[in-house]
Amino acid sequence: MSSYKANFECICGDRVLKQILGEIEEELLSLEEDLKRAVNTRIKLIKKPVEHMINSGGKRLRPAMVLASARFGEYDFEKIKPLAVSVELIHTATLIHDDIIDDSPIRRGIPSIQSQLGKDVAVFTGDYIFCKVFDILTSSDYFNMLQSVSKVMYQICEGELQQREDQFNTDLTLKNYLYRIRKKTALLFALSSQMGARASKASDEVVKALYGYGINIGIAFQIIDDLLDVKSCEKRLGKPVGADIREGVITLPSIYALKYSDERVDLKGILQSRHANEDEINMALKIIRKSGGVEYAEYLAKRYIQKAQQSIVTLQETPIKKVLSDLSTFVYNRCK
Q: What stretch of H or E contains 239? A: none
pLDDT band at 8 (very low <50, low <70, confident <90, very high): very low
Query: 106 forms bridges with which residues in the sheet?
Result: 111
Rounded alpha-carbon distances, angstroms, from residue 254 to 177, 224, 292, 293, 321: 11, 13, 10, 7, 35
DSSP 178-212: HHHHIIIIIHHHHHHHHHHHHHTT--HHHHHHHHH
Alpha-carbon torsion (315, 60, 294, 94), positive or negative: negative
DSSP 115-169: HHH-HHHHHHHHHHHHHHHHHHHHTSS-GGGHHHHHHHHHHHHHHHHHHHHTTT-
For residues 175 and 84, give the distance between their C-alpha atoms in angstroms, rounded to a whole number: 31
Taking all residues of the chain, what is their mean pLDDT, rounded to a whole number?
Answer: 89
For 214-223, the pLDDT digits (tens) are 999 999 999 9
Q: Check if the beta carbon of residue 297 is closer than 8 Å to that of residue 253.
A: yes
Give the residue extent of every domain in the chain: 3-333
pLDDT > 70 fraction of the chain, expressed in percent and rounded: 90
If you ran DSSP here, which 8-state letter would residue 104 be given? -
For 38-95, the pLDDT digits (tens) are 989 999 999 998 888 888 767 788 999 999 999 999 999 999 999 999 999 999 999 9
> How buried is residue 277: exposed, middle or buried, by Cβ count under 10 Å (0-12/13-18/19+)?
exposed
3-333 carries CATH number 1.10.600.10:
yes
For residues 236 and 277, give the distance between their C-alpha atoms in angstroms, rounded to a whole number: 23
For 146-193, the pLDDT digits (tens) are 889 999 999 999 999 999 999 999 999 999 999 999 999 999 999 999
Q: Check if the beta carbon of residue 142 is closer than 8 Å to that of residue 83.
A: yes
For residues 207 and 72, give the distance between their C-alpha atoms in angstroms, rounded to a whole number: 9
pLDDT band at 19 (very low <50, low <70, confident <90, very high): low
For 227-269, the pLDDT digits (tens) are 999 987 555 555 568 889 999 999 999 999 999 999 999 999 9
For residues 161 and 94, give the distance between their C-alpha atoms in angstroms, rounded to a whole number: 12
For 260-313, the pLDDT digits (tens) are 999 999 999 999 999 999 999 999 999 999 999 999 999 999 999 999 999 999
For residues 277 and 176, give the distance between their C-alpha atoms in angstroms, rounded to a whole number: 27
pLDDT value for 10: 39
Antiparallel, parallel or unpaired: β 110-111 and 106-107 = antiparallel
pLDDT value for 18: 54
Helix 119-138 × helix 146-165 angle, to 10° = 160
